[in-house]
Structure 1
């Protein structure tokens, strides 16, 4: 007589072990195993007279009667749990399963129904009176938790309409972040500052929602720049378009653009917009675009100054007083060690050259006998690999090419062409040699600076020594410089 109870509790124990140990690991397989255990448990109860639709037998033994009642109640609760799991695992879409709202609400309803059924069938309590009383109690509780209920129903609407999913970057009610969790009460956002912001579903349902992750392959990057009204708009727009063309990660369709957004007495606001195909690129592209806008505007002669400073035609600015060639040399990294007087000596030796869009500036395997500094426009650097020509970088104002040919006689095994109309200045090797002979410390600093830029060696196709340490590259460059310029230090 005790065997049905023993086997029943043994099956319950096995089900608990499978649930807690998550064995087997596959979710569907684990559910099927638990359903088989539940089927065996049901067959055992009904076969031994322990029907969950009536009170347990063993009236003559109080302990056995209570244990039978417990098994019958467990049957109802286990069935409710497996029903909710089956719905969650087999029927719900993957996105709904991650959000947990529907499974939680359905599970709560099923468990409530199982509890009422167990009270009515197993314990034979007056369920009708209980339901009537619970209805009045539900009204009182509903009024008390009105805001929570609004979050629940708003969550149902959000999960049904799916304005965003877990993992999306969204802006909800002015808060921008990545969706980490969506539950019955709120949406959890991880902001760019690393903070968790909890937005109630009722607020999210009423707020304007911007989903930055949709469409998945198109994300906009927009910069707002306030420029002095003294600058001609066509000059500014042309400079901004060159800056947009200088960012390699920007996609061609839809095309980037620059427009005049609004004007005022103190400034003109310009908007530069570009698009990328990956949300993860937005930060890097934004920073690169800001830098290129600054350089292209400066190259176009647009003075960047505090907008509150008045304009005085009779008082030229410091930028207007400085030789633009000196300012250009100062922006080249390898000349950072030169003094103002040394830059003044080199500036007259620069020769100016212009290229139209599509013109070739450098051909592969050519050892450049001069340093080329981009003054305006955009140059494209293309290298050959096993799959064909690949663009490796783009050069804008202040960028230099040919440093390794100028200092060490190394070829740049790439093709460099003008992506837009461009103006460059060139410095011949013979013009730099006297300075290097007079200033050996400057020569060493130039080699030291180039040795830190190992990525540039690869981008420009320059052959490097087998050992890739900074010291070996420095010595390699220094030896090449001594040989090329006939230096004896």
Structure 2
């Protein structure tokens, strides 16, 4: 009987399956473990090969070749069907790994929506199963394909509007003209994209969520404000009187824009003059999200700056603080700070003037030698040291406090002074303050004490920041044992 087994060939099949299958499974297991440690996507198809294709293939080979069960037996056909189905899945999995798993981020393969891949996989599985049933079970699948084709046409005609929106969405997902977080200007809708699905794009306009159908976007032009990468230009048009010197106005427009905290790093604003007192300002900001806030702050600061320089923004250069009697009231309010006498008022009215600053405006930058002294009449100013592109506050200046004492010692300022509120100050020329100090020793002592206090506060703040940096560097340099 043993001789008959080897003579007929099925004995060799039994030995080959008994020895070869375990060895192959062990080799595949080691290979899969190595690929998994390297996060290689090829481990997936090999796992399917080890866990499904080889065991079922061995069973089919045992039934068909070793035991030599007739091919028309049910169990042989069942094993052949399962084996064929697993082979189809293995081929599709390997194809997916080869084509999509290692695709570059900017390649067309990476941009293909997952739904396209899933639909193609489903179609290929259906075709493979149809051919498999035709070969193994001698099934007639031609009628099934015809019925599916007719049914697809009927369903497509009935749902053409809905399907059109879905197809438009899939095409948008494939092309990817924008991504989540980009700012769009589409058909009058302007805002940030927060969701993209098959049917519509959800845009956060700041006052609600606008849902724009994909069919509308695919059939019309729109602007992606977040592309190309780099600073986004927030633009606005302003108008001055034709009597205002254009170059001086342009210098003021750039100066105010460059002081904005929203300005992009290492960028400067630009201004063009169109004639007739019309100017166009372009402010580079990090992105469209900062544009509205930057323009709002810019235009409010520009109103105060234009009045301080005597320029007629929008044809008007008047400022309520220039009304008669306002300067006299302010000098009376700060008279105690400057030790003014009654007979000093007339001279002070001739040499001084009032200025106002909007919230956040720089009143006095750091690193400059002031040529004027300012005394706070109303509002509050913040004194801060500039560190790593930011500001750290260490003191305030309120009513009666002096800003710019280093003008008297001809030293550069260590701190930047910023308006914390709408700030009104009396501006005194250096010569006027020098004369006051010469005749009022007590004023000189008070200014000296105030200047020394601010120096100490600024120095303490800088030392504290440097100490914190040193501690962080030391902590990073010590490696754990």
Aligned to 1:174: 188
CA contact under 8 A between 2:185 and 2:191: conserved in structure 1? yes
Q: Deviations over 1:192-240 (max 9, x none)?
A: 6396544332211123211222231242111245x6xxx6235286536
Deviation at 1:136, TM superposition (A): 0.9
Aligned to 1:113: 124
Structure 1 residues not aligned, in runs of 5+: 52-56, 263-267, 331-337, 353-360, 374-382, 394-399, 416-423, 469-489
TM-score (structure 1 length as normaliser) = 0.55
2:429 paired residue among 386, 402, 426: 426
Question: 1:208 and 2:210 equivalent?
Answer: no
In structure 2, the CA distance between the partners of 1:149 and 1:78, relative to structure 1 (3 Å rule), is farther
Deviation at 1:120, TM superposition (A): 3.4
Aligned-partner Cα distance in 1 for 2:217–2:227: 18
In structure 2, the CA distance between the partners of 1:369 and 1:134, relative to structure 1 (3 Å rule), is closer
In structure 2, the CA distance between the partners of 1:46 and 1:36, relative to structure 1 (3 Å rule), is same
Question: 1:88 and 2:100 equivalent?
Answer: yes
In structure 2, the CA distance between the partners of 1:273 and 1:414, relative to structure 1 (3 Å rule), is same
Question: 1:371 and 2:373 equivalent?
Answer: yes
Aligned to 1:484: none
Aligned-partner Cα distance in 1 for 2:93–2:336: 82
Aligned-pair RMSD on alpha carbons?
5.9
Aligned to 1:321: 323
In structure 2, the CA distance between the partners of 1:114 and 1:317, relative to structure 1 (3 Å rule), is closer
Aligned residues: 376
Deviation at 1:407, TM superposition (A): 10
CA contact under 8 A between 2:285 and 2:291: conserved in structure 1? yes
Aligned-partner Cα distance in 1 for 2:442–2:251: 38
Aligned to 1:149: 163
Aligned-partner Cα distance in 1 for 2:211–2:236: 29
Q: Matches of residues 262-273 of structure 1 in structure 2 within 5 Å?
A: 271-273=280-282
In structure 2, the CA distance between the partners of 1:426 and 1:74, relative to structure 1 (3 Å rule), is farther
In structure 2, the CA distance between the partners of 1:384 and 1:213, relative to structure 1 (3 Å rule), is closer
In structure 2, the CA distance between the partners of 1:64 and 1:176, relative to structure 1 (3 Å rule), is farther
Say which SS state the counterpart of residue 246 (structure 1) adopts: helix
Aligned to 1:131: 145
The farther-off stretch of 341-350 and 159-168 is: 341-350
CA contact under 8 A between 1:179 and 1:188: conserved in structure 2? yes
Aligned-partner Cα distance in 2 for 1:97–1:429: 75
Q: Deviations over 1:61-88 (max 9, x none)?
A: 9789657645543443454355345432
Aligned-partner Cα distance in 2 for 1:78–1:205: 37
CA contact under 8 A between 1:223 and 1:272: conserved in structure 2? yes
Aligned-partner Cα distance in 2 for 1:193–1:209: 19
In structure 2, the CA distance between the partners of 1:285 and 1:277, relative to structure 1 (3 Å rule), is same
Higher relative contact order (CA 8 A, sep 6+): 1
Aligned-partner Cα distance in 2 for 1:403–1:150: 68
Aligned-partner Cα distance in 1 for 2:351–2:160: 77
Q: Deviations over 1:447-481 (max 9, x none)?
A: 99x89xx8xx5xxxx6747568xxxxxxxxxxxxx
In structure 2, the CA distance between the partners of 1:118 and 1:317, relative to structure 1 (3 Å rule), is closer
Question: 1:274 and 2:283 equivalent?
Answer: yes
Question: 1:222 and 2:231 equivalent?
Answer: no
Deviation at 1:108, TM superposition (A): 0.7
Q: Matches of residues 179-194 of structure 1 in structure 2 within 5 Å?
A: 179-189=193-203, 191=204, 193=206
Say which SS state the counterpart of residue 213 (structure 1) adopts: coil
In structure 2, the CA distance between the partners of 1:33 and 1:197, relative to structure 1 (3 Å rule), is farther
Question: 1:298 and 2:307 equivalent?
Answer: yes
Aligned-partner Cα distance in 2 for 1:193–1:365: 41
Aligned to 1:403: 404
Max radius of gyration: which structure?
Answer: 2
Aligned to 2:45: 35
Aligned-partner Cα distance in 1 for 2:275–2:285: 22
CA contact under 8 A between 2:352 and 2:428: conserved in structure 1? yes
In structure 2, the CA distance between the partners of 1:50 and 1:384, relative to structure 1 (3 Å rule), is same
In structure 2, the CA distance between the partners of 1:76 and 1:134, relative to structure 1 (3 Å rule), is same
Structure 2 residues not aligned, in runs of 5+: 1-13, 63-68, 354-363, 376-384, 392-400, 417-426, 466-481
Q: Deviations over 1:298-330 (max 9, x none)?
A: 22435679x9xxx9xxxx984552478679x89
In structure 2, the CA distance between the partners of 1:126 and 1:39, relative to structure 1 (3 Å rule), is same
Deviation at 1:152, TM superposition (A): 4.2
Aligned to 2:241: 232
Aligned-partner Cα distance in 1 for 2:100–2:132: 27
Aligned-partner Cα distance in 1 for 2:163–2:70: 45
Say which SS state the counterpart of residue 215 (structure 1) adopts: coil
